[in-house]
Chain A
Amino acid sequence: MSGLTHLDRLEAESIHIMRETVAEAARPVMLYSIGKDSAVMLHLARKAFYPAPLPFPLLHVDTTWKFQDMYRLRDKVGAEEGIELIVYKNPEAEAKGINPFDHGPLHTDLWKTEGLRQALDMYGFDAAFGGARRDEEKSRAKERIFSFRTASHRWDPKRQRPELWSLYNVRKNPGESMRVFPLSNWTELDIWTYILRERIEIVPLYLAARRPVVERDGLLIMVDDDRFQLKDGEQVQTRSVRFRTLGCYPLSGAIESDADTIEQVVQEMLLATTSERQGRIIDRDAGEGSMEKKKQEGYF
């Protein structure tokens, strides 16, 4: 009888995927979004290549609108020995002052989708690790672990390469690239139990604390800095909240909670009645099939 648990097997599979990428790609990079999935992915990468340092840089496609706590953890990770962190900001979005208050969906488009394309092209990365999981969203359930992208970064769900056994076809022509998802087979519960087991550092926003928030469109938005534009009649309140997913702070809905340990967070999650992406405005933009559409356009 095998002594390997499901977490051991998931860990071994992710490490296998990362090593395969590094062995076959010319210039790999790890997309680092600072969230809990990124934290797990980074931890797995350290394990995969220990005792060698990471054989690829981390890339943070910044929007300048992340939470302060996220920037703190990012800069701490970036300062570690053996870690090369690249922060990329789309100069066009920066010049135009694109922000989530005034520009709506354009904000994600320019900073994230377009910013990611620019960064990948500029550095010539041909394989980019992303922390997406198949359990997150229906269109993700069909994506390969090694997802082939055309030279214009498009994803064609009808022309995916069959992926058999643990044999990954990493071959591509110049200009084409791969998105690689080592966490494909992990679920949200797996992520949390692994964070606990391995004592992985995460952004404190995942745990409840008293924070200044504003109620807007049925969501609780945190007032993380003085760029927050209050609308008429809106009141900043201090409530005990935490976040299920982290992105740009004006686009991330908090939930009211007193769970200030990971155990309690998991407890609330398991007894919860709404799914993880619910607090994220981005999925609602285009309604039906919106994530699938974003993916075809080159969003991660």
Chain B
Amino acid sequence: MALPNAPKYQADERDLIATDISAYLAKQTSKELLRFITCGSVDDGKSTLIGRLLYETRQIFDDQMAALEADSKRVGTQGSNIDFALLVDGLTAEREQGITIDVAYRFFATSKRKFIVADTPGHEQYTRNMVTGASTADLALLLVDARKGVLEQTRRHSILCKLVGIRRMVLAVTKMDLVDFDQNAFDAIVADYRAFAGQVGIDDWIAIPVSGLSGDNVAGRGEAMRWYDGPALLDHLETVPIASAADEAKPFRLPVQWVSRPDQHFRGFAGQVASGAIAPGDEVRILPSGRMTKVARIVTMDGDLHQATAGQSVTVTLADEVDCSRGDVIAAAKDPPHAADQFEATVVWMADEPMTPGRGYWLKLGTQAVTATVAHPKHQLNVNTLEELAAKTLDLNAIGVAELTTDRPIVFEAYEPSDGGPPNRALGGFILIDKLTNATVAAGMLHFALRRAENVHWQALDVSRETHARLKGQKPAVLWFTGLSGAGKSTIANLVEKKLAALGRHTFLLDGDNVRHGLNKDLGFTETDRIENIRRVGEVAKLMADAGLIVLTAFISPFRAEREMVRRMIPKGEFIEVYVDTPLAEAEKRDVKGLYAKARAGELPNFTGIDSPYEAPENPELWIDTTELSAEAAAEKIVVAILEFERR
């Protein structure tokens, strides 16, 4: 077996370890940390290059080396040579398929820095993983095969990294050994990339010709490419400025993670400083409330601090008793961030299920969690060309620009600062979470707030909703019946309306028949359309309740998120969710309209209960078990509850 050159790089360090371990360890405590991402495909020699970096910096032990030699013989792709790629490809499934399928994190260190490498795959279907790896990186290492040059993939990776806010790139031209270390081959690739980088606005990059196999220009300059006069890769990584260090120069931001209240005398606000610096006595503003106060102490287990800076996890106490809890942001009083509830953002879709415009997702930004809906995308981005394409939704790995609305204001900053500095990751990056599966379905970067909510003033009405209600002598309400098809919603709602009318109440019943044929006749039965259907019904119910009516609605409304959306539209206490609980087997047995039979036969796609989920209410105001109550008894029970509601 041909052994690679023994690692020379760490020789000095190893001398120090052997002769003066205390001095060595003292040096360890003052290292910096650089995080970078590697982009390239299996064929670009990426794993070989990373394996080489680990080897050169002595992160590989003899037993691993022995295992590697054995593996190289058995499944390696380098003939009798050591296949460094085997060090890096982790999961068994990957080794069998010979591909990398996820983000893997690698670690190595030199005497100056510790490095965390996000190793991500190159195939298009794994854009998600690349964006994930890039989200925490200071720098991107782009690999280009010297034989193939700049490919579409190289351009895509560059654009993705730039999109996530990485400013610095290293173009590593790999496999130089396979082009006889030819300078012309290298120069042509560099010229090619320069033209592309200029077009898309990547201005901070350098190109280095390397060979993972021979080690040239990886850890040291090597002999094979004397024509190259730049730094070796490792030298560059050791000296390039660290982007996240610039966060300190920005205004102070501390997203509150957790409120510490061990006893009645201590109330501390714990969190990681997102940017800037703070000292006791500094004036701060609590957002979104806007209350002003001063920092009293910065408390740590090792004693109070005189100052805390970006990146540190601290606990601060405030001079005044102000309201402040998880999700709030403590910020520099003179330069606070804004709060808003409508934004434009870049959204990277990461789930197999496409985005559903109008549906409510959990949005997590910093320590804030709210419900957000995303509008139809303004456009989708072609990540190979930056071209803007029309799109109705976003599929897995699609990147688009869309407007989103949150159910309450959130404190934020534009992801890309206007001064071109490092991105505001902590208050500008967010994830979307599916409310049913709890999967992380998207990542996003806020551009700016849309001031629409402030500009469009609602028409002030002289005759208020209170006046409408008083004229009718009743308390408006929305009785929202939900349940499976055939559960008995319409039947019961009809009976309730009759009884209320008999009691002299002004009511209106909205159900599928009088809505689907008019207001919503443009809507079908896809998930998106069903959500829009419910949204419109909610808005109509709200207007009718404003007019003083008791509104009854009878829709399957299968998704919890949409029912919650309607609940939020209606004044507090006036939304009464009535869960008509009929087990699927029972509803299917009744099958009054013959719909279940059709659905089972595959004639009705997206049928609730069959191939589309029904999310039962967790805390409905009224729970009607139709296996115990007749429709008449159920209606009676609901009317009694309404009379009670009116007396409250």
A residues apposed to B, CB below 8 Å = 1-13, 15-16, 19-20, 22-23, 46-53, 134-135, 138-139, 141-142, 157-158, 160-167, 169, 171-173, 176, 184-185, 187, 189-190, 193, 196-197, 263-264, 266-267, 270-275, 278, 288-289, 292
Closest B residue to A145 by beta carbon equals B105
B245 near A1 with CB under 8 A, answer yes
Q: How far is the CA of A165 from the CA of B425 in the complex (A)?
A: 7
What is the bound-complex CA distance between A262 and B39, given in angstroms? Answer: 39
Contacts A5-B32, A51-B299 hold; do A141 and B104 have CB atoms under 8 A apart?
A: yes
Task: Point out the residues of chain A lying under 8 angstroms from B245, CB to CB.
Answer: 1-2
Given the contacts A160-B102, A185-B105, A2 and B313 also touching, CB distance less than 8 Å: no
From the candidates A138, A162, A167, name the one contacting B90 in the complex (CB within 8 A).
A138
Residue among A139, A164, A263, A278 with max Cβ neighbours from chain B (10 Å): A164
A161, closest chain B residue (CB): B440
* In the complex with contacts A162-B128, A164-B429, A292-B91, A273-B62 CB distance below 8 A: yes
Q: Does B114 contact A (CB under 8 A)?
A: yes
A3:B116 contact, CB within 8 angstroms: no
A165 touches B426 (CB 8 A): yes
Q: How far is the CA of A29 from the CA of B426 in the complex (A)?
A: 27
Q: Can you list 17 pairs linking A and B with CB atoms under 8 Å apart? A: A6-B113, A23-B257, A48-B270, A50-B300, A51-B299, A52-B262, A141-B90, A142-B103, A158-B93, A167-B364, A187-B107, A263-B25, A267-B18, A267-B24, A270-B17, A275-B63, A289-B91
Complex contact A5–B29 (CB within 8 A):
yes
Partner of A7, one of B29, B311, B315: B29
B106 touches A171 (CB 8 A): no
User: A4, B312: Cβ atoms under 8 Å?
Assistant: yes
A266 CB to nearest B CB, Å: 6
Complex contacts, A135 vs chain B, CB 8 Å: 107
Instruction: Choose among A167, A184, A270, A273 the residue with the greatest number of B CB atoms under 10 Å from its CB.
Output: A167
Q: How far is the CA of A187 from the CA of B426 in the complex (A)?
A: 25
- Which A residues lie within 8 Å of B31 (CB)? 5-7
- Distance (whole angstroms) from the CB of B364 to the closest CB of chain A: 6
Residue of B nearest to A196 (CB): B25
* Whole-angstrom distance between the Cβ of B574 and the nearest chain A Cβ: 29
Contact status B91-A139, CB under 8 Å: yes
- Give Cα A11–Cα B242 distance, bound, in whole angstroms: 18
User: Which B247-281 residues have a C-beta within 8 angstroms of A?
Assistant: 248, 257-258, 260-262, 266, 268, 270-272
Asked if residues A173 and B438 are in contact (CB atoms below 8 Å), the reply is: yes
* Closest chain A CB from B363 CB (angstroms): 10
B410 at the interface (CB under 8 A from A): no
List, in ascending order, chain A residues with CB within 8 A of B266's CB. Answer: 51-52
For residue B93, which residues in chain A have a CB less than 8 angstroms away from its CB? 157-158
Q: A193-B29, A263-B22 are in contact. List 16 more A-B contacts (CB 8 A).
A: A2-B248, A15-B313, A47-B302, A52-B260, A52-B262, A162-B131, A163-B132, A165-B136, A166-B272, A171-B438, A187-B109, A189-B28, A189-B109, A270-B17, A270-B24, A278-B61
CB distance from A169 to the nearest CB of B (A): 5
Residues of B within 8 A of A8 (CB): 311-312
Best-buried of B32, B244, B440 by chain A (most CB within 10 Å): B440
* B430 with A185: CB separation less than 8 A: no
Cα–Cα distance between A189 and B362 once the two chains are bound (Å):
39
Are B107 and A169 neighbours in the complex by a CB distance under 8 Å?
A: no
Residue among B62, B89, B313 with max Cβ neighbours from chain A (10 Å):
B313
**Contact check: which of A2, A52, A53, A169 meets B364 at CB < 8 Å?**
A169
> Which listed residue (A6, A13, A166) contacts B32, Cβ 8 A?
A6
Q: Answer whether residue B33 sits at the interface, using C-beta atoms and an 8 A cutoff.
A: yes
By the criterion CB–CB under 8 Å, are A171 and B114 in contact? no
Complex interface: chain B residues within 8 A of A169 (CB): 364, 431, 433, 438-440
Number of interface residues of B (CB under 8 A): 80
**How far, in angstroms, from A267 to B25 measured CA to CA in the complex?**
9
Contacts of A267 in B (CB 8 A): 17-18, 21, 24
Contact flag A46-B301 (CB < 8 Å), given A52-B262, A169-B440, A190-B114: yes
B109 → A minimal CB distance (Å): 7
Q: Does B92 contact A (CB under 8 A)?
A: yes
A218 CB, min distance to chain B CBs, angstroms:
12
Q: Given the complex of chains A and B, what is the CA–CA distance between A3 and B105 in angstroms? A: 25
**Residue B154 interfacial (CB < 8 Å):** no
A93: shortest Cβ distance to chain B, in Å?
A: 28
Interface string of B308-320 (1 = CB under 8 A from A): 0111110100000
B135 at the interface (CB under 8 A from A): yes
In the bound complex, CA of A11 to CA of B272 (Å): 11
Q: Known contacts A51-B262, A165-B425, A169-B438; decide if A12 and B272 are in contact (CB<8 Å).
A: yes
The 8 closest A-B pairs by CB, nearest first: A273-B62, A289-B92, A52-B262, A6-B33, A15-B313, A138-B90, A50-B301, A2-B245
Interface residues of B (CB under 8 A from A): 14, 17-18, 21-22, 24-25, 28-33, 61-64, 89-93, 101-107, 109, 113-114, 116, 128-129, 131-132, 135-136, 242, 244-245, 248, 257-258, 260-262, 266, 268, 270-272, 299-302, 309-313, 315, 326, 350, 362, 364-367, 425-426, 429-431, 433, 438-440, 443
The distance from the CB of A186 to the nearest CB of chain B, in whole angstroms, is 9
Q: Are B429 and A53 in contact (CB under 8 A)?
A: no
Do B135 and A164 touch (CB < 8 A)? Answer: yes
B21 & A162 in contact (Cβ 8 Å cutoff): no
By beta carbon, the residue of chain B nearest A186 is B107
The answer to whether A3 and B309 have CB atoms under 8 Å apart is yes
Check if A274 sits within 8 Å of B61, measured CB to CB: yes
Contacts A19-B270, A141-B105, A185-B116 given; indicate if A2 touches B262 (C-beta within 8 A): no
Tell which of B91, B101, B132, B366 touches A164, judged by Cβ atoms closer than 8 Å. Answer: B132
Bound form: Cα–Cα A16–B272 in Å: 6
CB distance from B312 to the nearest CB of A (A): 5
Q: How far is the CB of A149 from chain B (nearest CB, A)?
A: 13
Give chain B residues whose Cβ lies under 8 Å from the Cβ of A157: 91, 93, 102
Docked pose: A138 CA to B89 CA in angstroms:
8
Write the chain A residue with the least CB distance to B114.
A6
Q: Which residue of A lies closest to B443 (CB)?
A: A164
Assembled-state Cα–Cα distance A51/B299 (Å): 8
Are A48 and B313 in contact, with the CB atoms below 8 A?
A: yes
Nearest CB in chain A: distance from B136 CB, A: 6
**Smallest CB-CB separation from B136: which chain A residue?**
A165
Contact residues in B for A4 (Cβ distance below 8 Å): 309, 311-312
A22 to B257, CA, bound (A): 9
* Nearest CB of chain B from residue A263's CB, rounded to whole Å: 5
Q: Is the CB of B367 within 8 A of A23?
A: yes
Residues of chain B within 8 A (CB-CB) of A7 are: 29, 31
Query: Given the complex, which residues of A lie within 8 Å of B299, measured CB to CB?
Result: 50-51
Contacts of B310 in A (CB 8 A): 2
A18 and B433 alpha carbons, distance in the complex (Å):
21
CA distance A289 to B132 in the complex (A): 25
B26 shortest CB reach to chain A, Å: 9
Cα A278 to Cα B426 in complex, Å, equals: 40
For the complex, what is the distance from the CA of A138 to the CA of B104, rounded to whole Å? 9
Other-chain contact of B21, A1, A185, A266 (Cβ < 8 Å):
A266
Rounded to whole Å, the gap between the CB of B611 and the closest CB of chain A is: 20
CA gap between A271 and B57 in the complex, in Å: 13
Give Cα distance in the complex from A266 to B24, angstroms.
10
Q: Which of A23, A166, A185 contacts B426 (CB 8 A)?
A: A166
Point out the residues of chain A lying under 8 angstroms from B272, CB to CB.
12, 15-16, 166
Q: Which residues of B lie under 8 Å from residue A3 when comparing CB positions?
A: 309
> Residues of A contacting B89 with CB < 8 Å?
138
Minimum CB–CB distance from A18 to chain B (whole Å) comes to 9
Closest to B103 in A: A142
Contacts of A48 in B (CB 8 A): 270, 313
Cα(A53)–Cα(B116), bound, Å: 32
Instruction: Provide the residues of chain B in CB contact with A165, threshold 8 Å.
Output: 135-136, 425-426, 429
**How many Å lie between the Cα of A9 and that of B245 in the bound state?**
11
Interchain CB contact under 8 A, B313 and A185: no
Contact B326 A23, beta carbon cutoff 8 Å: yes
Q: With the chains together, A52 CA to B260 CA distance in Å? A: 7
- A141 pairs with B106, CB closer than 8 A: yes
